[in-house]
Amino acid sequence: MGPLSNTFCQIFLPCITGLFFLKHAEAVEKDIPARELHEMLLLSLQWLSGTITHSNPVYPLHLLREIETRVWLLAVEAEAQLKTEGNVTSPNLSQNPVGGNSTSIIDQTANIVTKMDNHINAMRARATERNDVRESNETNPRHGQIIDVLTPATAGGSTKMKRRAKSYMPSRRPQTDSVDKTSDPDDSSTVLSVRNSDELFRSSQLQEENVRIEASFSGWEERVGSAELERAVLSLLEFGQISAAKQLQQKLSPAHVPSEFAVVDAALNLAAAVSSGSSELSVPVVDSDVLSVIQSNNMLSDNQITDPLQVLEAFATKCTEGCGRGLCKRIIAVVKSANVLGLSFSEAFGKRPIELLQLLSLKAQDSFEQAKLLVQTHFMPSSSIARILAESFLKGILAAHRGGYMDSQKEEGPAPLLWRISDFLKWAELCPSEPEIGHALMRLVITGQEIPHACEVELLILSHHFYKSSACLDGVDVLVSLAAARVESYVSEGDFSCLARLVTGVSNFHALNFILGILIENGQLELLLHKYSAADTTTGTAESVRGFRMAVLTSLKHSNPHDLDAFAMVYNHFDMKHETASLLESRATQSMQSWLFRYDREQNEDLLESMRYFIEAAEVHSTIDAGNKTRRACAQAFLLSLQIRIPDFDWLNLSETNARRALVEQSRFQEALIVAEAYGLNQPSEWALVLWNQMLKPDLTEQFVAEFVSVLPLQPSMLGELARFYRAEVAARGDQSHFSVWLSPGGLPAEWARHLGRSFRSLLKRTRDLRVRMQLASVATGFSDVIDACMKILDRVPDNAVPLVLRKGHGGAYLPLM
């Protein structure tokens, strides 16, 4: 490679590339995220400092430091944005041993800045060494002239550069030596002449380039002031980068040390001095810096620090937000976690936050508040939190399964492990991403080896819960597919209890409907209902109950529609009164039909079973205030009892005409009432024919009417119809007195008239309304004595009545005076 190529690669290429990134960053500063701007400036810093090309810096040192300050500010801002968004850029995050935080961008910046500083220092040392050797061995005056010409060329960048010439001179001299690192001062004169001409060209080019640099990018120098420098330092301190913050402060402003450094150091010292679980701390073990802060807050009592945690809280308050307060809060969280775990502060502070969370989750019954504070103060990826919680829950339910505590979530189980579903739901609030919890739980099912079915089902149920609550439809689909793949192994092992728990716990009955069918076909309906009752106490809602009920009934109708006992079990379980009563009536009708088609009707088992079903249906109807349905069910039960008592007559399944005929032919009121109620004939118009059929039997009529009146009222319409029947019958038979005895069904014509009149008189006697009685007697004719008696009673004047004196008024109307 020739001298010009070396010059281009070591001077012009880093300068052009670094300035390109600087210009581009300034142009798009307001349009791109802080992370992208940080990457641009970091690349520019590496090129301009010569770190990438392993050459001397091509940019003034004070401007490199200002770019470095800007890079630190952007690194902190980008890291804060990442924490807010909850994203993780790399799976292998570096760990800060002081702050205990995974801060990939800040650590990356710190590594690059450290390499840059080491490179600049190495270039300075090399330049100093070569200058010393060259000054001692220098014999050619032309060579010294070249160095004298080249030195002001690199020093003519700015006035700031001139002020710092003494400190920056070693970094400028090697620019002339970098080309010579492969050549010896004792080379031939030909090589020296070529090198001299090349160096003159380089020096002129460097003068022009430095002038362009100073003129183009003074804006960065103006934007980075003392406030920006302090903000960068304190931002690093906030993120726990204490060493990086101190180094940056020493490089940029060694005279001014922020007070937050002392507060953070005091908090670290106090936390280290606090023994595990101690509530007091003696003053001699605390240094003076810590004591000054404690005394300013009046926290000393008898030379004892009564509450070290309260002192740490005061330290956090003393720091402003974003300037060390977050680090102090993280220290407090680690102290509290160490107290619960029984660890020293140094041991706990040296662990990663995710490791502390894992240890706390193994003491889930006692450490929730400490874990909550740890998650609030430290940045941990959602996926890592979810993984820790899922693994801890798996350990807990495995222990609970071995101990037999799985079925009862209220008993004391393998404390202090995380095994209850209610406890896991509380701990899951620590993870900001519910889908991540679902992923972590399902990942255990997919990758886990030898997990018992009962534990596997609990993991799937919780995974579906978090997928559903976060509307993660892809997760639900994958889970349903996984459950479908697991069903076959459950069935082959006869583990129907886990299947029932899975379908009732997930409550996705539409997608898992095939599991319901499998359970019903294998006779596990009662187990299914029992599992749902156990799950319903904690997670059941009205909507989920309706969904499960409809899913079970649909599967039952599809799998075994004729299993009435199964339907009855489902109806009773869900307290479906109307459906239960309807099913009972259907079964009663079925039993009655089977008796009707029986050849030997002397066997009454079907009738008794049908009557029992009707009675049970009536009881169910009565509980829901369904009066008419209760009455009809009772009437059918009475009709069945009538069939059993009087088997010579077919009382069941009569047509409307035959039912009326059976009703009219009844001589006793109780049987007639049963038939009327069973066939819907209990109407006044129907009873008129029944009573008229009894008229020629006065003794039976009186008993019939007496029983009728005790149960039903004598309606005026019915009595009026009987009076018309009576008058028509008397008129029709009045001219037949000369007929012989055989023509009269009741004996002589005088006897039938007497029997008919006697029966009608018993009806009149039972009629309490005198006006209705008198009207009936008038319509029927032949009962003048009844009419007179009624008139006499109706026309009677009360004893306390007074004479009524009338006067004739206008229009001929008489008006009472008294």
Strand ranges (DSSP E) for 49-107?
A: none
In a domain, 550, yes or no: no
In a domain, 756, yes or no: yes
> What is the per-residue pLDDT for 199?
47
- Over residues 642-652, the mean pLDDT reads 88
- Flag whether pLDDT at 552 surpasses 80: yes
Which residue type is seen at 764? L
> What is the per-residue pLDDT for 158?
34
In a domain, 282, yes or no: no
- Flag whether pLDDT at 210 surpasses 70: no
- Over residues 686-691, the mean pLDDT reads 87
Across 167-181, 317-331, 475-489, 687-701, least confident range: 167-181
pLDDT > 70: percent of the chain: 72
> What is the per-residue pLDDT for 91?
37
Q: Give bridge partners of residue 300 from the DSSP assignment.
A: 305
Tell me the range of 18-22, 44-48, 568-572, 748-752 where mean pLDDT is highest. 568-572
In a domain, 382, yes or no: no
> Which has more confidence, 182 or 401?
401
Which residue type is seen at 438? G
- How many structural domains are present in the chain? 2
In a domain, 609, yes or no: no
> What is the per-residue pLDDT for 740?
43
Across 243-252, 442-451, 472-481, least confident range: 243-252
Strand ranges (DSSP E) for 429-582?
A: none
Locus of tokens 């088609």: 597
> What is the per-residue pLDDT for 463?
93
> Which has more confidence, 92 or 456?
456
Which residue type is seen at 342? G
- Flag whether pLDDT at 167 surpasses 90: no
Among candidate residues 175, 202, 223, the one where a domain is terminated = 223
* Closest to 551 measured CA to CA, from 592, 512, 589, 495: 512
> What is the per-residue pLDDT for 193?
42
Across 168-172, 497-501, 637-641, 686-690, least confident range: 168-172
> Taking the CA of residue 3 as centre, how many other CA atoms within 13 Å lie in the half-sphere pointing to its CB?
17
> What is the per-residue pLDDT for 375?
92
Q: Are 277 and 254 in contact (CB under 8 A)?
A: no
Q: What is the pTM of this model?
A: 0.62
- Flag whether pLDDT at 4 surpasses 60: no
Across 270-284, 602-616, 686-700, least confident range: 270-284
> What is the per-residue pLDDT for 178?
37
pLDDT digits (tens, 9 = 90+) for 316-347: 877 878 788 888 888 889 999 988 888 888 88
Among candidate residues 181, 206, 223, the one where a domain is terminated = 223
Among candidate residues 175, 207, 223, the one where a domain is terminated = 223
> What is the per-residue pLDDT for 169?
32
C-alpha to C-alpha distance for 314 and 334, rounded to whole angstroms: 16
In a domain, 20, yes or no: yes
- Flag whether pLDDT at 377 surpasses 70: yes
> What is the per-residue pLDDT for 6?
57
Query: How confident is residue 633, by pLDDT bands cut at 50, 70 and 90?
Result: very high
- Over residues 368-397, the mean pLDDT reads 91
- Over residues 627-636, the mean pLDDT reads 90
In a domain, 802, yes or no: yes
In a domain, 117, yes or no: yes
- Flag whether pLDDT at 485 surpasses 50: yes
From residue 798, alpha-carbon distances to 773, 790, 802, 803 in Å are 22, 16, 9, 11
pLDDT > 90: percent of the chain: 13
Which residue type is seen at 603? Q
Domain enclosing residue 55, as ranges: 3-223
C-alpha to C-alpha distance for 663 and 365, rounded to whole angstroms: 77
- Flag whether pLDDT at 477 surpasses 70: yes
> What is the per-residue pLDDT for 213?
45
- Flag whether pLDDT at 386 surpasses 90: yes
From residue 51, alpha-carbon distances to 14, 162, 634 in Å are 9, 24, 101
- Flag whether pLDDT at 469 surpasses 70: yes
Q: How many C-beta atoms lie closer than 10 Å to residue 536's C-beta?
A: 15
- Over residues 584-606, the mean pLDDT reads 85
Chain-wide mean pLDDT for the chain?
A: 75
Q: Give bridge partners of residue 806 from the DSSP assignment.
A: 816
Query: How confident is residue 12, by pLDDT bands cut at 50, 70 and 90?
Result: low
> What is the per-residue pLDDT for 99?
39
